[in-house]
Structure 1
Amino acid sequence: MKDWLRKHPDVRTIRVAAADLNGQARGKRIPARFADKVVKDGTRFPFSVLNLDIWGEDIDDSPLVFEQGDADGILKPTERGFMPMPWLEAPTALLPIWMFRENGLPYEGDPRHALRAVVDRFKARGLTPVCAMELEFFLIDDSGKTLQVPPSPRSGKRRKAAETLSIRALDAFDTFFTDLYDACEAMDIPADTSTSETGLGQFEVNLMHCDDALRAADDAWLFKMLVKGLARRHGFAASFMAKPYPEYSGSGLHTHFSLLDNDGRNVFDSGGPKGTAIMRNAVAGCLGAMHDSTLIFAPHQNSYERLVPGKHAPTAIAWGYENRTTAIRIPAGNPSARRIEHRVAGGDVNPYLMLATILGAALDGIERELDPPPPIAGNAYAFADLDQIPDSWEHAIDAFENSEVVPNFLHPELIRNLVQTKRQELHYIGELSESEQVELYLDTV
């Protein structure tokens, strides 16, 4: 880590940052000349900082605050190390960190440790998750009273229409995307294909598959930070909020995953299109936990504006082969690449909690050898008898808090902290107008 700074003598300040439960970066700015101390000893801030609400306020009834004296945790660098922050004017380095207790044990309320714990359980079974994510986001001109697509830097015109898979839409913002891919290269984020999507000024960037789930979640978290910061340098906003425009589809964060055994073989590969029994166990686990864990996939008030029938987001708890109307899709293609696509999450999620929940639910299904219901063929929105994803934030909070399955893969302290956070946000969000809610989520999630 120290070598990186020596190779970049123009970097004069660093940021140390950890993801809180909402995926917000919490940390400090430190002069680069003191970086060695942070690398060696870590830094400190209160446990409660990873449990702030979306406004950055303490949780009123959290035991982490006054009951425990607002005690400090120790934050140590992750294996990611230093990387540049290309969205800032001055040369600056980011050092991702995560939280530990004074005795050196991981802090269970840290979302990155939640994912690590699930990955460790896979390792104990001789399995390695391979993950890839597709992140949708909007480019937005938020300078006026209403949100609108930014004018093209090339033509100065605004295209106020959906531009599904439009090369013209990509070319209109070519300068931004060129800078974005250069920045991803500098930060070692494996950005692959980009497309124009169905929303107003909406795009998607796929991140390449990775056999390190922690790194895959890091990539998604850093990518969201990068896109939002870089857009501001280009004179507009970028947002991963689930649904900024009521009349257009929202932004999802679809996750693909498979599992490798110790010989590097994909255990979902049956040699044909249907996949293996262990794949169906994983599907059953994901479906069985879906209702109760919706709060992870739709963590904000605005999230539920996206989860409506017929708007390219799933509403029924169902699975199918090559079926994008279902919550779980098994893509077609070469059997050696057989995988599960989990389609519920919005772009506004915390990637660490999302991946911990998807993989944890899959592992629960594998360990209990669960069987899924029959796969759905055709339009899943038209099946009235299917169980449904919670249709409101309040319903999702209740289901998460009272779940019997979520504790199978998330620690009780993290569950408690998240429930308290979301109940506080639910209480205060009612004081905001619709435009104030949009303004809140536009820049935060």
Structure 2
Amino acid sequence: MDELDRWLDEHGITSVEIQATDLDGTFIGKTLSRGKFLGGVEQGFAFADVVFGNDLSSTPILGIPFPSWRGELADIFLRPDLGTLVVWKPGKAAVIGDFWTQDGTPVSVCPRNLLRRVDADAKQLGFTVDTAIEIEATVFEESVREARAKGYENLTPLGGTSGGAYVLAKDADWRAYLERVEERLRAIGIDWEAWNDEAAAGQIEVNVAMGGAVEVADRWARCRQVMREVAHELGRTVTFMAKWSDAWGQASHLNLSLATPDGNAFYSPDGPSDVMSRFIGGVMPAMAGTTSIALPFITSYRRLIPAEGPPTTISWGVGNKTTAVRAVVDHPKQSRIEYRVPGSDANMYLVTAAVLGAGLFGVRNELEPPTALTGMAWFRPDGEPIPASITQAASALEADKILPEALGAEFVGYWIGTRLSEWLSFHTGGGDPDAGITPWERNRYFELA
């Protein structure tokens, strides 16, 4: 506590923002006075359990069993992880935390707690986990207030209206936005590797550097918040909807490998190592169920269009970007899998936990993967399709045998209930499954997904 007090003094901190994500990946928290923060560091800070009990419209999710941590607006406690303490802005610090019950039990659906537990499972097997996340988003010239007034439709993409990947012929406003994001990321100590123009007009990609699984998920959450804050500061707006218009969709690709003290356990000079093969052997049979987590919302599934980039079949291949899992092999340091299913709206704490948990199941049980696909994975009449809707994916997760063991039956059951509630909200709240992207979807997901 003395060291923490000195740190706050040295950086002129007068307030602290405590940060976390809810099930839907929305960045949540509170701003505390310095005294309040110091007084609650050890016990944690009370939040009503509706943090994980309300949907994106703040409507209570009912009709599913209440787990032990849920009650009548019972308190759960966000305990800060002081290893994540940073200066967020002059005079203001920020720290990420995990949710616990009052008696010290981890909340079973807390995304960060869940990932920390699966990461600990990897350590028990003798592995450290390395991940990296690719963040895609679309930025617009309009401010968020202007975007709201227009119903999030007919917005002007920042950087011009022509699409294309890796194009450098962008205007100064486009560069100013990304250079400000870069500046903020450096200031709060987030390692990043690259940013670039993506496929659709106004679309960008920011690559979060490789690191430990929990650390990188923290970077992902904070990077998206920085991208939002910078947009607001510059009078712009940004969305992480998986598909906000009829233009190309947006993804969050997860790159993952396991390491031992001897080096990258996925590396073998003649292709996938035994560890990589068995890891994929666990990931593949769980992929249909994992899709519920990787594509969490109604709109997430509108992105699954062949030849537009996302995978549409349950498949894997070596160096094959049309498959759902791309195995990168033959490199002592860079051998890894790239899990290409998640949309930009996915909660990457949960996606990482699900993919890692399924892969470790495969390693423990020495599962062999199906045959690697060669050639294009799109348009294959013999290919098993990725679930095409939020209800199909929920049913696949309900039938899955791997993820309840990897993530816990309580989380899996609760998650399925929240997705069915999302489906019900869409169909009773004005959504039209036979139309294109609807005002209901934009109003619900544009700012919060």
Query: Which residues of structure 1 form unaligned runs of 5+?
Result: 153-158
Indicate yes or no: 2:237 matched with 1:237. Answer: yes
- 1:155 match: none
In the TM superposition, what is the alpha-carbon distance from 1:319 to its structure 2 partner? 0.8
* Cα distance, 1:174–1:367 mapped onto 2, change above 3 Å: same
* Cα distance, 1:151–1:123 mapped onto 2, change above 3 Å: closer
TM-score of the two chains, using structure 2 as the length reference:
0.90
Indicate yes or no: 2:47 matched with 1:51. Answer: no
5 Å-filtered alignment, 1:378-393, equals 378-393=375-390
1:71-99 Cα deviation digits (max 9, x unpaired): 2222211243332445xxx8433221211
- 1:352 match: 349
- 1:419 match: 416
* Cα distance, 1:439–1:69 mapped onto 2, change above 3 Å: closer
* Cα distance, 1:57–1:6 mapped onto 2, change above 3 Å: farther
In the TM superposition, what is the alpha-carbon distance from 1:48 to its structure 2 partner? 3.5
- Taking only aligned residues, the RMSD between alpha carbons, in angstroms, comes to 2.1
Q: Secondary structure at the match of 2:378?
A: helix
- 1:76 match: 79
- 2:434 match: none
5 Å-filtered alignment, 1:58-69, equals 58-62=60-64, 63=66, 68-69=71-72
Indicate yes or no: 2:439 matched with 1:435. Answer: yes
Is this contact kept in 1: 2:23–2:110, CA < 8 A?
Answer: yes
Is this contact kept in 2: 1:53–1:422, CA < 8 A?
Answer: no
> What CA distance in whole angstroms lies between the structure 2 residues aligned with 1:257 and 1:368?
19
Indicate yes or no: 2:442 matched with 1:444. Answer: no
> What CA distance in whole angstroms lies between the structure 2 residues aligned with 1:381 and 1:396?
19
In the TM superposition, what is the alpha-carbon distance from 1:225 to its structure 2 partner? 1.4
> What CA distance in whole angstroms lies between the structure 1 residues aligned with 2:292 and 2:194?
29
Q: What letter is aligned with 1:437?
A: E
Q: Secondary structure at the match of 2:374?
A: coil
In the TM superposition, what is the alpha-carbon distance from 1:172 to its structure 2 partner? 4.5
Indicate yes or no: 2:8 matched with 1:5. Answer: yes
TM-score of the two chains, using structure 1 as the length reference:
0.91
> What CA distance in whole angstroms lies between the structure 1 residues aligned with 2:69 and 2:218?
31
- 1:323 match: 320
Q: 2:291 aligns with which of 286, 289, 294?
A: 294
Q: Secondary structure at the match of 2:289?
A: coil
- 1:187 match: 188
In the TM superposition, what is the alpha-carbon distance from 1:290 to its structure 2 partner? 0.4
Query: Which residues of structure 2 form unaligned runs of 5+?
Result: 432-437
Q: How many residues align?
A: 431
Is this contact kept in 2: 1:292–1:405, CA < 8 A?
Answer: no
- 1:253 match: 252
In the TM superposition, what is the alpha-carbon distance from 1:3 to its structure 2 partner? 3.7
- 2:155 match: 148
In the TM superposition, what is the alpha-carbon distance from 1:371 to its structure 2 partner? 1.1
* Cα distance, 1:276–1:332 mapped onto 2, change above 3 Å: closer
1:13-37 Cα deviation digits (max 9, x unpaired): 3222321111123332222232211
Deviates more, 1:170-179 or 1:418-427: 170-179
1:294-319 Cα deviation digits (max 9, x unpaired): 11100000100111211100011111
Q: What letter is aligned with 2:185?
A: C
> What CA distance in whole angstroms lies between the structure 2 residues aligned with 1:332 and 1:205?
24
- 1:407 match: 404
Q: Percent identity?
A: 27
Is this contact kept in 2: 1:19–1:50, CA < 8 A?
Answer: no
Q: What letter is aligned with 2:85?
A: F
Q: Secondary structure at the match of 2:83?
A: coil
> What CA distance in whole angstroms lies between the structure 1 residues aligned with 2:288 and 2:125?
26
